[in-house]
């Protein structure tokens, strides 16, 4: 036999080299308690598009889009494995998940979605939202607990429960001196919710130091914000919001004349009791979850009453500025002077790849011949598109996009929409990964048979 043939046979007999598994990725807050193996993602379920068989997992500011085969995907939740293809229906948006996946030609395919279970704690170790509200409302020295926020400082700076002190679990050993000297005092920890392990782990560490009355508010900040307001110090608000240019609604309840002598950049002047009228006019919808800061002179009852009014209206990230504007001045933080705004102008920060609603509306309103360098791509299914399409748009259902991607132009900008934004975002990420110049509309859109449309 020819020597080259022998060499070929020898190479063929060698075992195939295994492909490297996909890289691990994790939301920053998950790294406090978990390591993530290659081929896994840890984050929060953002959305599911069943018709297109796509799921979105949020990792901090990034969204990972994964395909899935409903006949092959395993979903682990509540200690049970579902292989019927309906397991994702039981998961909620924002739920902590670990996803096992494979990757081929830059396409991620989920094989297992594991919903993180609640941390196991004895009933005697738990404090309810109602009990904590009662304890926090007590006057100092009359049974108030030592309340500790076990989340990282960056989360604490975005707002916390009144009276809480930040004792990050990741820095517990270095900051354990924040614990009370009395080891029989009531100590309560909380963190990001039922599936977060930081406060249960802090409880265990505190007990190991000899403390005998330690509990956990397991529902954590999400449940607290749903029922009440948080607080934030001037320095924390500046660091978490102003310094990062995070869109925020700031309501200044002081008299306009007083506020004009000094106010926080972006503040809107509102008379106490005028929130109801403001909500009926130009206030951002609660579903947008705008961060709201309520400011009065001293951080007193006026701000707290207004904050509770906003919470009852469905807003879930409302904070009162600790110490009010007096504390802002005492911290020597910059303030503006002059007439304050009287109308709320809030625009949520755009998600990566999304186009402002106003820009999309302007372009889509043009005659097709006036936007020849732009293609509007409608990724709704054919039945939805039958009721009405934007004039000149191309309907290519999301579930067909991967197979028909070659039909799309690479020399034109592609603006993608669906009905609510979820499928459009999935399409954007698929096209962007293949080098297309694309953006998507992250909004609800209704289109009638004349081609006219309404954006919500």
State whether 298 and 238 are in the same domain: yes
Based on the fold, state whether residues 220 and 233 are members of the same structural domain: no
**Residue 14 belongs to some domain of the structure:** no
Residue 6 lies in a domain: no
Is 215 contained in some domain?
yes
Q: Which of 226, 244, 275 is the last residue of a domain?
A: 226
Residue 161 lies in a domain: yes
Q: Give the global pTM.
A: 0.80
> Does 188 have pLDDT greater than 50?
yes
* 199 and 246 belong to one structural domain: no
pLDDT for 4:
42
Quick check: is 445 in a domain? yes
Same domain, 221 and 294: no
Confidence class for position 63, pLDDT limits 50, 70, 90: confident
Measured between alpha carbons, how far is residue 240 from residues 28, 165, 232, 257 in Å? 16, 17, 10, 28
Looking at the structure of the chain, the number of domains it has is: 4
Question: In which domain, by residue range, is 158 found?
Answer: 123-226
Residues in contact with 30: Cβ distance below 8 Å, sequence separation at least 6, in sequence order? 36, 42, 43, 96
> Tokens 């007990």 belong to which residue?
207
Q: Are 62 and 77 in contact, with CB atoms under 8 Å apart? A: no
Question: Which residues face 54 on adjacent strands?
Answer: 49, 67
Angle at 425 between CA 419 and CA 429, to 5 degrees: 150
pLDDT > 90 fraction of the chain, expressed in percent and rounded: 64
> Is 142 found in the same domain as 100?
no
pLDDT, one tens digit per residue, over 287-330 is 889 999 999 999 889 999 999 999 999 999 999 999 999 999 99
Task: Give the end of a domain, one of 88, 115, 142.
Answer: 115
Q: Are residues 202 and 237 in the same domain?
A: no
Is 97 a member of any domain? Answer: yes
Is 369 in the same domain as 451? Answer: yes
Residues noted as catalytic = 418
Q: Among 211, 226, 241, where does a domain finish?
A: 226
Are 222 and 234 in a shared domain? no
CATH at 449: 3.40.250.10
Name the band, by pLDDT with cuts 50, 70 and 90, for residue 160. very high
Can you tell me the mean pLDDT for 19-43? 80
Asked, for residue 182, whether it belongs to a domain, the answer is: yes
Same structural domain, 376 and 439: yes
What percentage of residues in the chain have a pLDDT greater than 70?
A: 95
Report how far apart the first and last C-alpha atoms of the chain are (Å, whole number): 75
Is residue 127 located within the same domain as residue 219? yes
> What is the residue whose two structure tokens read 């807003």?
315
| 91 exposure class (CB count in 10 Å sphere: 0-12, 13-18, 19+) | middle
pLDDT surpasses 50 at 94: yes
Same domain, 307 and 325: yes
DSSP type of residue 155: H
Does residue 105 lie within any of the structural domains?
yes
Residues 396 and 413 in one domain: yes
């Amino acid at each position: 036999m020819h020597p080259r043939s022998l060499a070929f046979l020898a190479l063929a007999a060698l075992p195939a080299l295994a492909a490297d598994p996909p890289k691990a990725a994790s939301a920053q807050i998950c790294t406090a308690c978990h390591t993530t193996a290659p081929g896994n993602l840890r984050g929060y379920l953002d959305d599911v598009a069943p018709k297109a068989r796509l799921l979105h997992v949020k990792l901090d500011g990034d969204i990972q889009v994964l395909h899935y085969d409903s006949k092959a995907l395993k979903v682990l939740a509540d200690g049970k494995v579902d292989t019927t293809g309906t397991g994702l229906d039981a998961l909620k948006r924002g739920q902590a998940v670990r996803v096992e996946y494979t990757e081929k030609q830059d396409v991620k395919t989920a094989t297992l979605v594991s919903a993180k279970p609640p941390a196991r704690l004895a009933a005697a170790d738990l404090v309810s939202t109602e009990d904590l509200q009662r304890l926090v409302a007590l006057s100092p020295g009359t049974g108030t607990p030592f309340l500790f926020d076990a989340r990282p400082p960056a989360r604490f700076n975005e707002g916390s429960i009144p009276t809480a002190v930040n004792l990050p679990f990741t820095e517990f050993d270095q900051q354990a001196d924040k614990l009370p000297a009395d080891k029989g005092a009531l100590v309560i920890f909380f963190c990001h919710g039922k599936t977060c392990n930081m406060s249960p782990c802090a409880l265990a560490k505190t007990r190991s130091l000899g403390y005998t009355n330690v509990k956990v508010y397991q529902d954590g900040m999400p449940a607290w914000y749903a029922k009440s307001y948080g607080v934030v110090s001037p320095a924390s608000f500046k660091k978490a919001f102003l310094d990062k240019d995070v869109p925020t609604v700031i309501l200044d309840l002081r008299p306009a004349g007083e506020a004009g002598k000094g106010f926080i950049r972006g503040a809107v002047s509102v008379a106490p009791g005028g929130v109801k009228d403001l909500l009926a006019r130009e206030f951002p919808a609660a579903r947008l979850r705008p961060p709201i800061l309520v400011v009065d002179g001293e951080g007193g009852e006026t701000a707290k009453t207004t904050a509770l009014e906003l919470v009852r209206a469905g807003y879930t990230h409302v904070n009162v500025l600790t110490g009010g504007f007096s504390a802002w001045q005492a911290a020597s933080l910059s303030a503006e002077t002059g007439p304050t705004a009287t109308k709320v102008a809030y625009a949520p920060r755009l998600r990566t790849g999304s186009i402002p609603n106003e820009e999309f509306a302007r372009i889509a309103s043009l005659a097709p011949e006036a936007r020849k360098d732009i293609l509007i791509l409608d990724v709704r299914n054919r039945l939805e598109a039958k009721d009405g399409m934007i004039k000149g748009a191309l309907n290519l259902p999301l579930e067909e996009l991967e197979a028909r991607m070659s039909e799309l132009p690479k020399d034109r900008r592609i603006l993608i929409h669906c009905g609510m934004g979820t499928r459009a975002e999935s399409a954007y990420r698929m096209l962007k990964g293949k080098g297309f110049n694309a953006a998507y509309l992250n909004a609800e859109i209704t289109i009638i048979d004349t081609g006219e449309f309404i954006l919500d």
